Each structure stands twice: as structure tokens, then as C-alpha cells.
Structure 1
Amino acid sequence: MLIAERRRRLLEQVHDRGYVSFRELADALDISESTVRRDLRSMVDEGLLAATRGGVGPIRPARPVAPLSAPRAPAGGPDADLAGGADDGHGAGGGVTDGGAKGRAGGGRLPAEHRADPVPDQREAIAAHAASLIVPGTAILLGPGRTTTALARRLGGIEQLTVVTNSVSVTQALIDLPQIDVVLVGGALRRSIGAVVGPITEQALQGLRGAQVFLSGEGVTAARGLTTPNVFAAATDQALMTAGRQVIVLADHTKVGHDTMCQTVPSDRIDVLVTDTAADPDTVRRLRAEGVDVRLV
């Protein structure tokens, strides 16, 4: 399939269906998920798609599907700043824009770590339990997000540890802990999620392995596992998942039972889910039936 035809069909799928995963798009077009991710990045950069609550959607006002050479949406336009956002650092706003000058000046959404935490007690309880799962002397991987950053702040009591991360806030939390070796992988900085993402990051992670990987996102269901509305963070989270022997998902109750656009960790790859006691009981039951070790704290 020619590139132009493939991208035209991707654009049609987004316009017609809107809320679809990489796998669904790949299946619809009979192409690989990596090709879908690469094409979506290019189409966002060219202004053919815009960030929405679901991660990616049509530019407003709506454009005809056929023209693939439409001009880039102007900076600071209606799609430059996104309503909503992820409390755990994976929101749609970080997925396709850096926030721009408007965001830094206060007109757009702030990164999650700078906004009021809606579940501070639950988040700290989840982080504390996650810290208890770490074996000193091993190497672990930490993805971006409020909960993984809260976990990083609790690693001071561990004698020796190597932490691989793409998160700026996780790095900052560990910078004064000399007993912890920090490996900060490179890549393109997405300021609105405080993390580096993209092909460089994914390639760097391919050569690394850790005993455990700790990830957060915006949704956890039995059907699709861990999901995020952020197309860029999703690919990097998948690379983090592949690098960890044990996959541990950290998600407060507001994420459990919620589904978003991009699958990052299928439920059969989640070894442990640490959540709080307010999590939806039916979703917890279904996850346990899928073989996930659900810890309620």
C-alpha cells in the first residue's frame, strides 16, 4: 500500500471512528502497529490530526478527508491547549503537543505534577506498597507519571538500586540519592508530560533489561489492560514494558475500569496491579480472572 493511500485510510478511520487503539487501526488497514504509530506522529506534526481528550482526533473546523497536504494548524489555535488531562502524566495534552508558549504562560494545561492531586492519600499508599516489592541490588524501570514519581521518592531506604527512566520528575526525585544509579534514556522531550519519548527512546530501551518495570496510565480494564490517550507515550511505555521481566501497573481507583485510546500493556502482560480499595470491584474481579495479581491498598 502506498504511503499516501495508507495515511488517507488512517485519516478516514480517525474521522469515522475517533476512539480507536493502535491495534484496531493496524487490523483495519492490515499493517503493523509500529507503522500506525509512525504515521500518526507525522500526521499530527503536519496538522492533519489534532490532540483531543481521546488522544487524536480531527482538526476543527472539520476538513475533507482527502487532502493530505493541508497546512499545519496555527500555533495556539483551538487544539493547541487541551481540555482535561492526565493526573498520571499520560494525558492527551502531552501526547501531541508540548503546550507551546501559551501553555507555559498559563493559558494551557499544566503538567500533572503542577496541578492539584485529586487522590493524594491513595497515590502515596500505592507508591508505598510498590516500594515494598523492589528487591535491593536489582535494576528497575520507571515510566512517567505522578504515581511512579511518588514511588521514586520512596526509594531512599533501599541500599543499592539501578533505575532506568524516561521521566524528568522521576530523575529529579532520585538526583540526591547517591546509592541509586540512574539511567536517563534520551529522546524528544515532551514538556507537558515531563518525559522523553519517540524512536530514540524506544531504541535505547531495546538494549536494556530490568527485573521490574513500574508503569502508570489513564485506564485499566480486563479487556485491554493498561491504556493511555497519549500516542507518543504509548509507544515508549510499550518499550518500557518489553524491557521489564515483571510488569507492575500503578493505578488509583479513578483509572480502574476506565478505557482510553492507546493500549500500552495488555492484561496478559500485567503481573501485578497496585490500586486502592475504592477500585471498581467488578473490574478487579475480571482482572484477577485474567491472572493479574491485584493488590488493594
Structure 2
Amino acid sequence: MFAAERRQLILEMVRANGAVSLRELARVVQTSEVTVRRDVRALEAEGLLDRRHGGAVLPGGFTRESGFPQKSHLATAEKTAIADLAAGLVEEGEAVVVGAGTTTQELARRLARVPGLTVVTNSLLVAQALAHANRVEVVMTGGTLRGSNYALVGSGAEQSLQGLRVSRAFLSGSGLTAERGLSTSNMLSASVDRALVQAAAEVVVLADHSKLGTDTMFQTVPTDVITRLVTNEPLTRDERSATELQALADQGVQIAIAGVGQPAPAPGQGQGTGPGVGPGRTDGGPTVGRPARRDTPLPGPRRTHPPTAPGGPGLRGPVSLSDQQLGGRVADLAPRRR
């Protein structure tokens, strides 16, 4: 197949699906991922598509939302690492809300091991991941099924969240910028995500580095409402992601960076007050190559959150977490002095 034919086929696949992984592109055009990456780079230079880590998407963040089958093949290692790190934030007996998305689905698989947990969700995939967890109670919203991401949306979903109060919300989205916060391409999904946020004392955003600096049509969570961002290490040459991370830190978002390929922390023990054990250690000592830290706050100014209901089941206020307790590392970012 000539390069022009190969690139035309790549372009047709992206237009048909919204987003396609490099692996899938290479399989269809019957060439190597190196060659496909070169083709994608050339098509991006012509403005015909946008590159993302591990794949290609339609150009511009305000056009079309890719469906679950496409999203599930993008940045899989990063999503796994992010989910591993985020699971360390959840304690036994806590009550949380988990929004729809491929990254939150990965988180749900890990939360299945946290005893006494109550999870409220509008995602069928999140509920399915927790369906066989013996000691986890799953509460689903009402609403209308949106087939592209297997989520319940609409007024039924939003009304079922009224009067709910939990310790924290875990959300993903299509893009994250310091200027607008978390956003998505679908109006109905954005509206339900906003309702999920209203139910939580603090908001944790799960977003791999490819979403940093990407702005989509509908804002879901303004930056000043985001408590923490759990992400992965940006690529060395990815200046946009690094710049966006610093801008988010400047606005008070606490940032934790997951190391891809690191051992997963034990879910249900993320808020202990002991020294913790870093990845690769079993003796309670410091993580190799990094000085020991104890109760080190995540960077960014501490925010004041609405008080949790006194004596409410599973409700706990924000606490300081060490990088060792989280099982990843705390970003070396602090707000710039103004």
C-alpha cells in the first residue's frame, strides 16, 4: 500500500470512529506502529487530525466525542496507573461517587477490594466492575441510557442525586485546562457530572496527560472546584501538558502523578497516618532514589471544603496524604509566587 493510500485509510477510520489507537490503525493498514505514527504526524501537520498519546482523534476539541470502544484502546497503561494511584485515596467504609469513563471504570475495578465501601454511580460499566464485590454497596442513579459510553443521563439521573452527600467524587472527562477546568463534548453528560460534583465534599479528577490542555464544548467542573488531579507523567517533549500542570497548581489544584508500570498501592489504606511503604519496598523505609516523606501535603494551597455531615456514614474531611501512602509521587509543583 502506498503512503497516500495508507493515510487516506487512516483518515477515514478516524472520521468514522472519532478516535482510533495506533495499534488498531497498524492492524488495519497492515504496517508497523512506527510507520503509522509517521503517517499520523503528517496528517496532523495538514490539520486533518490531532495526535493523542497512543492514537489519533478528529481535529479540534469541540467537534465529536469518541465512543467507548475507541476510548478503551487509548492510553491504557496510563489509565491503569492513574486508577492504581487514585484507589489509594479511598478508605474502608467510605461513601463516594464515581462518574462515567474508561479511567473511572479502571478505578472501580480496584475499589472492589475496599470493604464497607458505598459507590454511587451513573455508569453501567462502573457498576458492572463492582457487581461481584461482596462488601461494596453500589447505588445507581436513574436516567436515560446513553449508549456511546454506557452512562445514565438526563433529568432522572440528576434528580436522583439531590440530597446526596458523600466524601468525594471521582470524575473523568474529555479535556482539562487551568482556564476552564474539566470539560466534555456532550451536554447531557456534563449536566450529570455537575450534579455528581454537588454531592461531594471534594472532587478528584482522573485525567491522563493527553487530556491536559484540551478544551471541549461543555464545562463540567470549574478549576476552583477541583481538589485533586491524578494524572501520569507527561512525555519529555510534551510542553503543553507540563505547562498546564503548573497552571493548575498555581490555581490551587493538588496534583499527584502516577508512575506507569509501578506496583499498585493497596486500596482501602490511602488515608493512614503512618510512614507508609513506597513502591518496591517492604520494610517501611523510604522509596528508592527519593528522600522519605511523612504526611506531605499535595502541592497547592489548601482549600476550604463544605463540612461533611457530622456522624454521617463514610464521610470524612480532607486530610494530608504522603506520596508514599498514595503509592505514586507527589508532583514537584507548587504555586508560583505572584
* TM-score clears 0.5: yes
CA offset digits 1:3-33 (Å, max 9, x no partner): xxxxxxxxxxxxxxxxxxxxxxxxxxxxxxx
Within the candidate set 226, 232, 253, 1:270 is matched to 226
Following superposition, the deviation at residue 157 of structure 1 comes to 2.3
CA offset digits 1:200-242 (Å, max 9, x no partner): 1111111211101000001100000000011110000000011
Larger Rg computed on CA atoms: 2
Aligned partners of 2:112 and 2:129 also within 8 Å? no
Matched, 1:207 2:163: yes
Aligned partners of 1:93 and 1:192 also within 8 Å? no
SS of the aligned residue for 1:140 comes to strand
- Judged with a 3 Å threshold, the aligned counterparts in structure 2 of structure 1 residues 292 and 86 are, in CA distance, closer, same or farther, namely farther
CA distance in 1, matches of 2:158, 2:16: 26
- Judged with a 3 Å threshold, the aligned counterparts in structure 2 of structure 1 residues 177 and 93 are, in CA distance, closer, same or farther, namely farther
CA offset digits 1:177-213 (Å, max 9, x no partner): 0200000111011111100001111111112111010
**Matched ranges for 1:94-105 at <5 A:** none
Within the candidate set 132, 137, 147, 2:88 is matched to 132
CA offset digits 1:91-116 (Å, max 9, x no partner): 9767xxxxxxxxxxxxxx7x414665
Aligned partners of 2:178 and 2:251 also within 8 Å? yes
Matched, 1:294 2:255: yes
Which letter maps to 1:169?
L
CA distance in 1, matches of 2:17, 2:112: 36
Aligned partners of 1:186 and 1:201 also within 8 Å? yes
Matched, 1:283 2:283: no
SS of the aligned residue for 1:189 comes to strand
Following superposition, the deviation at residue 156 of structure 1 comes to 2.7
CA distance in 1, matches of 2:192, 2:210: 23
Alignment length (residue pairs): 200
Aligned partners of 2:19 and 2:70 also within 8 Å? no
Within the candidate set 115, 120, 123, 1:167 is matched to 123
- Judged with a 3 Å threshold, the aligned counterparts in structure 2 of structure 1 residues 129 and 206 are, in CA distance, closer, same or farther, namely same
Which letter maps to 2:132?
D
Aligned partners of 2:71 and 2:102 also within 8 Å? no
After the TM superposition, which of the residue ranges 116-125 and 136-145 deviates more from structure 2? Answer: 116-125
Corresponding residue of 1:101: none
CA distance in 2, matches of 1:92, 1:158: 38
Corresponding residue of 1:8: none
CA distance in 2, matches of 1:82, 1:178: 41
Following superposition, the deviation at residue 266 of structure 1 comes to 0.2
Matched, 1:223 2:195: no
SS of the aligned residue for 2:111 comes to coil
- Judged with a 3 Å threshold, the aligned counterparts in structure 2 of structure 1 residues 131 and 156 are, in CA distance, closer, same or farther, namely same
Q: TM-score, normalised by structure 2?
A: 0.56
Corresponding residue of 2:137: 181
Aligned partners of 1:228 and 1:234 also within 8 Å? yes
Question: Following superposition, which runs of at least 4 residues in structure 1 exceed 4 angstroms of deviation?
Answer: 91-94, 113-116
**Matched ranges for 1:98-117 at <5 A:** 111-113=67-69, 117=73
Q: TM-score, normalised by structure 1?
A: 0.63
Larger fraction in helix? 1
Root-mean-square deviation (CA), in Å? 2.2
CA distance in 1, matches of 2:16, 2:229: 29
Aligned partners of 2:96 and 2:169 also within 8 Å? yes
Where does the alignment leave 5 or more consecutive residues of structure 2 unmatched?
1-14, 22-61, 236-240, 259-338
Aligned partners of 1:82 and 1:92 also within 8 Å? no
CA offset digits 1:16-68 (Å, max 9, x no partner): xxxxxxxxxxxxxxxxxxxxxxxxxxxxxxxxxxxxxxxxxxxxxxxxxxxxx
CA distance in 1, matches of 2:177, 2:208: 13
Corresponding residue of 2:195: 239
